[in-house]
Amino acid sequence: MKTPITITVNGEARLIDVEPSDVLLDVLRTGLGVKSPKIGCERGDCGTCTIMLDGRTARSCLVLAIETDGHEVLTVEGVLQNGELTELQDLFIAMNSFQCGFCAPGIVLAAREFLAANPDPSRYDVQHALAGNLCRCTGYEPIIDAVLAAARGITEEVPA
C-alpha cells in the first residue's frame, strides 16, 4: 500500500506516494524527476547513486524512500551556487576529469564532502576517500588531480 511522504529535495519539499519497498534512487529518478543519481550496481558497490542525506553522503540504492520522510536530500543539481557551477566542478571540467560522466554526480558529492572535512589532503587521502566511487573511463588520475587542485585553491592551472 502506498504511503505519502515528504522529502526536501534540493531545498524544495516534495510530496510523493511510495511503496514500503521503494528505494530512494528510483523515487528520485522516476517519481521526482531528479536524474543525476545514476542507476549502477543497485547494491551499494559503485557509488554512482550517491546523494547527500541530511548532510552526509549516502547510497540512494540502499535507502528505503519511506525512511526519508521528513529528511533532506541534496543531489548534484542542488550544489550550484547562484546557478553557477562550483569551483570544484569547474576544475573537473578544466582538467577533463570525466569522459562519459556517468560517475560524475556521485564523485562531485563525495569529493565535496571529503574536502569539507579534509582541506589539506594528500593524494593518497583523495584516492582513499573516492575508492567507493567507481569510474570505468578515466583511470581516476584526472579526478584526483582536480580534487587536489581544489584543495590547494588552484582555479585555472592544469597540472601536466
Q: Which stretch binds ligand FES (CB under 6 A): 44-52, 69-77, 84-92, 120-128?
A: 44-52
Instruction: Give me the 9-28 binding string for ligand FES, x by CB under 6 A, dash otherwise.
Output: --------------------
How many residues make up the chain in this entry? 160
Instruction: Give me the 50-89 binding string for ligand FES, x by CB under 6 A, dash otherwise.
Output: ---------x-x----------------------------
- Rounded least distance, CB 120 to ligand FES, Å: 26
Q: Which of 48, 57, 75, 89 binds ligand FES (CB under 6 A)?
A: 48
Q: Which stretch binds ligand FES (CB under 6 A): 68-76, 92-100, 117-125, 150-158?
A: 92-100
Q: What residues numbered 118-147 form the site for ligand FES, per CB under 6 A? A: 135-138
Cell numbers for 68: 526519508
How many amino acids of this chain bind ligand FES (CB under 6 A)? 22
21-26, Cβ contacts within 8 angstroms, sequence gap of 24 or more: 21/64, 22/64, 22/65, 22/66, 23/60, 23/61, 23/62, 23/63, 23/64, 23/65, 24/51, 24/53, 24/60, 24/61, 24/63, 24/64, 24/65, 24/68, 24/73, 25/49, 25/60, 25/61, 25/63, 26/65
Question: Alpha-carbon distance 146 to 55, whole Å?
Answer: 22
- Residues contributing to the site for ligand FES (CB under 6 A): 39-42, 44-49, 59, 61, 98-103, 135-138
